[in-house]
Amino acid sequence: MSTAEAAAGRPLPGPGAAEDTGANAAACAHCGLAAPLASIEAGAPRQFCCEGCRAVWAILHEHGLERYYALRAGGAPAPAPVADRLYAELDDAGFQGRSCRPAPGGLLATDLYLEGVHCGACVWLVEKLPGLLPGVAEARLDLPRSQAHVVWDPRVLSLSAVARRLASLGYTPHPCRGQAAQAARRREDRAMLGRIGVAGAVAANVMAIAFALYGGMLDGMEPEFATFFRWLSLVLTAPSLVWSGGVFFRSAWVALRAGTLGMDLPISIGLLVGFVHGVVNTVRGSGEVYFETVSTLIFLLLFGRYLQRRQQRAAGDAAELAASLYPTSARLVEGDGVREVALDALIPGARVEVRAGDLVPADGVIVAGRSTLDLSLLTGESAPRGVRPGDRVHAGTLNLASRLEVEVERTGEETRVGRLMMLMEEHARRRAPIAQLADRISGRFVATVLTLAAITVAIWWRVDPARAFDHAAALLIVTCPCALGLATPLAVSAAIGRAARAGFLIKGGDVLEALTRPGRMWLDKTGTLTAGRAELARWHGDPAVRSLVAAAEAHSAHPLARAFGRALGVPSPGVRLEIAETHGGGIEASVDGRRLVVGSPAFVRGRAGESPAAIASAVDALIADGLTPVLVAVDGEVRAAAGFGDALRPDAGAALDHVRALGWRPGILSGDDPRIARAAGARLGLEEEACRGGVTPEDKLQAVLAARAEGPVVMVGDGVNDAAALAAATVGVAVAGGAEAALTAADVFVVRSGVGRLAELLDGARHTMRVVRRNLVFSLGYNVIGVTLAMTGVLNPLLAAILMPLSSLTVILSSYRARTFTAPAPAGSVAAAPIPAEGAR
Amino acid sequence: MSVMFVLLPVALIFAGCALAVFLWAVRAGQFDDLETPSVRILHDDD
């Protein structure tokens, strides 16, 4: 317990958090990040970086749960958000009817998606909920899905109380989306495991019996034993073939009726011929039986398929659950009060409150308040837009600065974002699946094998008609593409598993294959190639006034003011400051007795007169480069011009060079101003016609569809405005930090933001396909040996039983020994790390 | 050697029992989440 106490009293700082902040910096007692100077209390035994962390620490301390800090040693959480929501929508009868199930004893059960769970300590803490909150009977956390299963007594407390308590622990709960689909997939998974269990048990026992028969083959065996063993093998193999192997027959039949030849067809032929041949010879009492090979085949093939599905499912579940993060409630203004209501319950004409940091819940018109909105997820525009009463706002945009009141005009599917989502779903449905390499081979494989079997019969008919069919059957069984059927699933599931650990969630093997065929690659700009926020890009004029600007801007929440703060650092303390901020144009302040005006050219001109010629030409140059100009005047004289832009990520250039080297043709599709798109493209070395600016989400979709007519298209994006294009592309790649809608639309989700790791993804895909091809060569090699043995009449059940597992083993080793997706990240990609707490520098 | 005719079915009955237990575990959802139990087992305080 000593380590636990030490860690609880003096929490370990997060990795690299506190080292570089100097001796007087304090680590937050909850999350371990450096506490900003402003929130440090002199003399207090513990420091916190924010109110959220303080609240969580207090709750844990009050209930004697400090052990959490010992358990989580190593991985520090993000700062806890302040829990101030009521979660009233969870008590809504409609919601409970859809999402809650009754549990024994009059209890109710539901699943909640939790933000911020990341390690074993979170499992421990969440599962302590019944002790923290009387009325909760059980809480189980599914860590990989971030999903908590909660059972509670509705007579004692409401679900919203459970949600509030979870939020107060720092895990913001959300109702789960797509639960029906998830439950269906879970049932399918269980049925598959059951089939594998039966096939495995049968294979092991039939193999044991077969060993006795092999012994008899060498030393002789009394006929009554041989007959008994054969009948026993037959009886055991039958359920495995019918129930477990039924999967292959059904899918082969479906493929045949659709006019295609999948991998399941040769598998089905091999299994059926092997079994029927064995039944005939068992009844006749002479000739070979291959029951052990048939049952082992079924087991191995099912197992390979299960592994592949499990990996793909994990990626699919993660993306679907991330959609739960989309807000489900709105703050309805009624009279003087504000009430939380479910998003579904909003009707046109209602008045909602949108606080700073919240997403706008519906399309509507501002009736009160002024603020700045981040439109980048919806339209791709990088510059934040100032809004005032009378302006129209759209659902899905982010309120950056201050509280707004909005009169709702359209809700749900009728909003702009709702229509975009429907467009996305339509294209996701319409997309034709990509035929995988193994499936394309299988047609030729079937034809070759059947021809060879016919030749075998024809040749042996002249030599010994009685054995002609035996040899042909042996050929069909030994070529039953066990290794061929495993080659792709195993290589792909191994690669997808390693990719997930490297931060790529990949929803299917066909995606990896498609990524190896270069074509057009469209990239979103805002948030994907760039950081998606304004940064100070250029400074013309007197550097001495920078410290004055830093002091004045440190007190504003405007996005440009924050960009000043990031670029210029924290002002020296002890500055005398008086602020008179004017919204929308700029800031007017008195700093140490000097009158400072910072703002748009029009705002500054109105207060400090015309700029000198040097500054005026600098402003023209900034505008020409697509930057937003800001002027600085001190004591009535314009002294400097600053240019703001959404800067390219430092690793974007290297990533695109690599992409081009692999044969792709990258281009930009941006909702931003065409000049800005072209400027970004020029710095990345893209041709001008491949950089389109001012495109709407519908234009993006059209661009992708047009490019699809010419070949494969990869779309890389992060926003709602990219979602339809992501769904329509051959492969859609969503990068982190954007809208959850983009995740559901995409085939690949990159856990880190930015395009820096695109090259790694493409390399990994190429490597995976190399492993797949190597596996296919191995298995075809084994098949050549098997066919030769069968056609020459040398093959017997013992040889078949050795050859089959050996070929599968080769493929398994080849797949799991491959080092796909384990390459170290390129050096430049560390630069796009999340926003550090710069306040303490 | 004719003891085989008895012993083999007995062995198969054992195998059938093991299979039944596995199928029960699958139906009970014990294979739904293979990751969380590996961290849950480290919490030994209660």
How many other CB atoms sit within 10 Å of the CB of residue B11?
A: 13
Secondary element (H or E) of residue A57: helix A51-62
What's the whole-number mean pLDDT along residues A497-521? 85
| Res B21: pLDDT | 96
Residue B36 Cα, gap to closest chain A Cα (Å)? 5
Q: ipTM of this predicted complex?
A: 0.90
What pLDDT, in 10s, does the model give residues A109-130? Answer: 998 888 878 777 888 888 888 8
Instruction: Kindly report the average pLDDT of chain A as a whole number.
Output: 80
What is the side-by-side strand order in the sheet with A351-354?
A337-342, A329-334, A351-354, A404-410, A363-368, A392-393
Contact B43 A124 (CB under 8 A): yes
Tell whether the model's pLDDT for residue A5 goes beyond 50.
Answer: no
Contact residues, chain A to chain B, C-beta under 8 Å: 67, 71, 119-120, 123-124, 127, 140-145, 186, 189-190, 193-194, 197-198, 201, 204-205, 209, 222, 225, 228, 232, 236
| Res B15: pLDDT | 92
What pLDDT, in 10s, does the model give residues A200-233? Answer: 999 999 988 888 888 877 777 788 888 889 999 9
Confidence of residue A571 (pLDDT cuts 50, 70, 90): low
Nearest to A190 among B4, B16, B26 (CB): B26
Residue A691 Cα, gap to closest chain B Cα (Å)? 44
Q: Which residues pair with A363 in a beta bridge?
A: A410
| Res A444: pLDDT | 79
What's the whole-number mean pLDDT along residues A296-302? 88
Q: CB distance from B26 to chain A under 8 Å? A: yes
Of A58-62, A564-568, A683-687, A729-733, the poorest mean pLDDT is in: A564-568
Vertex A118: Cα angle to A116 and A122 (nearest 5):
85
What pLDDT, in 10s, does the model give residues A761-803? Answer: 999 999 988 888 888 888 888 888 888 888 888 887 778 878 8
| Res A194: pLDDT | 94
Tell whether the model's pLDDT for residue A315 goes beyond 80.
Answer: no
Going by C-alpha positions, the residue among A812, A153, A192, A160 that lies closest to residue A483 is A812
Contact B36 A222 (CB under 8 A): no
- Regions in chain B scoring below 70 on pLDDT: 1, 43-46
Tell whether the model's pLDDT for residue A719 goes beyond 90.
Answer: no
Q: Search chain A and give the residue with CA nearest B17.
A: A201
* B23 neighbourhood in chain A, CB within 8 Å: 194, 197-198
More confident of the two residues A545 and A193: A193
Confidence of residue A329 (pLDDT cuts 50, 70, 90): confident
Q: Which stretches of A685-757 are DSSP H helices?
A: 697-708, 720-728, 740-745
Q: CB distance from B21 to chain A under 8 Å? A: no
| Res B13: pLDDT | 93
Residue B2 Cα, gap to closest chain A Cα (Å)? 9
| Res A286: pLDDT | 80
Best-predicted range by mean pLDDT among A270-284, A341-355, A610-624?
A: A270-284
* B27 neighbourhood in chain A, CB within 8 Å: 190, 194
**Residues of chain A above pLDDT 70, percent:** 88
Dihedral sign, Cα of residue A61, residue A66, residue A72, residue A74: positive
Of A69-78, A88-97, A292-301, A724-733, the poorest mean pLDDT is in: A69-78
Under a CB-based contact definition with an 8 Å cutoff, are residues A512 and A329 in contact? no
What's the whole-number mean pLDDT along residues A128-146? 87
Q: Give pTM, 2 decimals.
A: 0.72
Going by C-alpha positions, the residue among A430, A396, A439, A438 that lies closest to residue A415 is A396
- Hey, what amino acid is at A311? Q
What's the whole-number mean pLDDT along residues A403-426? 83
Best-predicted range by mean pLDDT among A160-169, A191-200, A325-334, A556-565?
A: A191-200
Contact B45 A67 (CB under 8 A): yes
Cβ neighbours of residue A257 closer than 8 Å, sequence gap 6 or more: none
| Res A435: pLDDT | 59
The 10 Å CB-count burial string (b at 16+, else e) for A222-248 is eeebbebbbebbbebbeebbebbbebb
Confidence of residue A17 (pLDDT cuts 50, 70, 90): very low
| Res B18: pLDDT | 94
What's the whole-number mean pLDDT along residues A85-108? 83
Confidence of residue A527 (pLDDT cuts 50, 70, 90): confident
| Res A238: pLDDT | 95
* A144 neighbourhood in chain B, CB within 8 Å: 33, 35-36
* A232 neighbourhood in chain B, CB within 8 Å: 8, 12
**Residues of chain A above pLDDT 90, percent:** 10
Q: CB distance from B10 to chain A under 8 Å? A: no
| Res A366: pLDDT | 93
Residue A429 Cα, gap to closest chain B Cα (Å)? 28
Measuring CA to CA, how many Å separate A685 from each of A251, A653, A688? 48, 8, 9
Confidence of residue A482 (pLDDT cuts 50, 70, 90): low
| Res A193: pLDDT | 93
Going by C-alpha positions, the residue among A403, A295, A289 that lies closest to residue A354 is A403
Contact B29 A190 (CB under 8 A): yes
Vertex A234: Cα angle to A228 and A240 (nearest 5):
145
| Res A776: pLDDT | 85
